[in-house]
Amino acid sequence: MPSFRMTEGYQGLLSTFLNQIPETGQVMSMTADSPIIKPPYKAADIDANKAIKSNPAFEKYTGYSQQALLKKWADPANRTTTCNEFCSKCANAMGYVAADRNDGVGRFDIADYLTRYGKGHCWVPARSGAQPEYGDIFRLFAPSPDHNGVPLNHMGVSLGIEGKSWYTVESGQAGPSTGYDAIERKTRDWKPDSLQGWVNMSALLGAGDRLPYWLGGWWQVEEGPYEVWYYYFASPNKVYYTPNAPRSLTAPPIQPGTVGNVTIKGMFGLQIRWNSADVDETFAVSLQDTKLRKFAMTGKTVNQVPLTATRMMIEGLL
């Protein structure tokens, strides 16, 4: 393994956190003297088998014991592995403090999630031409089967790129097909077709408080019967508008244009004060369907011109 370039304090924290993961080999979910239980798994047998021993290091990195994994796999439809949990633990080690228990970085919808909370600038699409830095958390997806026979749906932590080699550390390296899960340092080819993008941890750690779940990202705003604008709501409580439809719903405007300050009113209202000659505006949520991912607002300018806004939601698997 090469010596990875670390220039930020959070990267040093991650390096220290990862010190129990060897350069070669795996951190398995069970100890070396624990029996390997093969499918089909039965919850009652798992409880009764006192020889099953969980690896404390694996629990530290993922929050999962060997017994907990085996019980999940007792349901044949459950193909749980621990890549997401590992990524969240790494983010916490770097100093990321979750706002609530659902606010982890390790989630397959991470690009959409960051955008919805006003932190879309922290997501770097693979097509950007950039490269992830030490500690950045990446997202892979491909319809082809992975080692557990399901479509590749995976996350991991980038450690560095040297030439055509991409060095990473990843959990979810085994699973129900093997009877245990594992964490491993890996070398991949840069860059795989399955790479969707990554979280820029430097940006995320400096992003400040998140916006309400119903607000962040792009909205199409109709002013009166004829004019259409596109607003981008971002942390910390900023909004930008442009007459041009966004090219990417996971990214802020390339040329931000006019900026405004957002004040949240109650649980589902807001006021915009534009830093220009544009008149101020107020909005309130008129449609909120989290399950169907539909959000809308109605509002007006101080001149009483009616406004309607529809949130532009990211489509597809993210």
Cα three-residue angle 203-206-209, rounded to 5 degrees: 115
Is the pLDDT reported for residue 208 higher than 90? no
Question: What is the separation of C-alpha 4 from the centre of its chain, rounded to a whole number of angstroms?
Answer: 23
C-beta atoms surrounding 153 within 10 Å: 19
Pick the most confident of 3-7, 33-37, 162-166.
162-166
308 touches 213 (CB < 8 A): no
Is the pLDDT reported for residue 130 higher than 80? yes
Is the pLDDT reported for residue 139 higher than 90? yes
- Those residues with Cβ within 8 angstroms of residue 18's Cβ, 6 or more apart along the chain or in another chain: 90, 169
* Residue 88: per-residue pLDDT: 95
Domain ranges of the chain: 9-205, 217-311
* Residue 53: per-residue pLDDT: 94
Question: What's the pLDDT tens digit per position in 50-83?
Answer: 899 999 999 999 999 999 999 999 988 888 899 9
Is the pLDDT reported for residue 318 higher than 60? no
Match 């957002």 to its residue by tokens: 262
Is the pLDDT reported for residue 256 higher than 80? no
187 touches 27 (CB < 8 A): no
Q: Sign of the C-alpha dihedral, residues 38, 41, 46, 48? A: negative
Rounded-to-integer distance, Cα 116 and Cα 278, Å: 25
* Residue 102: per-residue pLDDT: 67
Q: Fold identical between 9-205 and 217-311? A: no
* Residue 258: per-residue pLDDT: 85
Q: CB-side exposure of 307: number of CA atoms within 13 Å? A: 24
Mean pLDDT score, 111-131: 89
For residue 1, name the pLDDT band (cuts at 50, 70, 90).
low
140 touches 154 (CB < 8 A): yes
- Identify the three-state secondary structure at position 303: coil
* Residue 276: per-residue pLDDT: 82
Is the pLDDT reported for residue 241 higher than 70? yes
Mean pLDDT (the chain, rounded): 91
Q: Sign of the C-alpha dihedral, residues 9, 14, 15, 20? A: positive
For residue 316, name the pLDDT band (cuts at 50, 70, 90).
low
CATH topology of domain 9-205: endopeptidase fold (from Nostoc punctiforme) (3.90.1720)
**Lowest-confidence range among 40-54, 170-184, 256-270?**
40-54
User: Could you give the angle at which helices 9-17 and 83-93 cross, rounded to 10 degrees?
Assistant: 130
Helix, strand, coil % (nearest 5) of the chain? Answer: 20, 35, 45
130 touches 152 (CB < 8 A): no
* Residue 205: per-residue pLDDT: 94
* Residue 279: per-residue pLDDT: 86
**Lowest-confidence range among 45-54, 61-70, 225-234, 302-311?**
45-54
Give the residue, 310 or 1, on which the prediction is more confident: 310
Is the pLDDT reported for residue 109 higher than 70? yes
Is the pLDDT reported for residue 297 higher than 80? yes
Pick the most confident of 38-47, 148-157, 194-203, 284-293.
194-203
For residue 235, name the pLDDT band (cuts at 50, 70, 90).
confident
Query: Under CATH, which architecture does the 217-311 domain have?
Result: Beta Barrel (2.40)
What's the pTM? 0.88
Mean pLDDT score, 70-98: 92
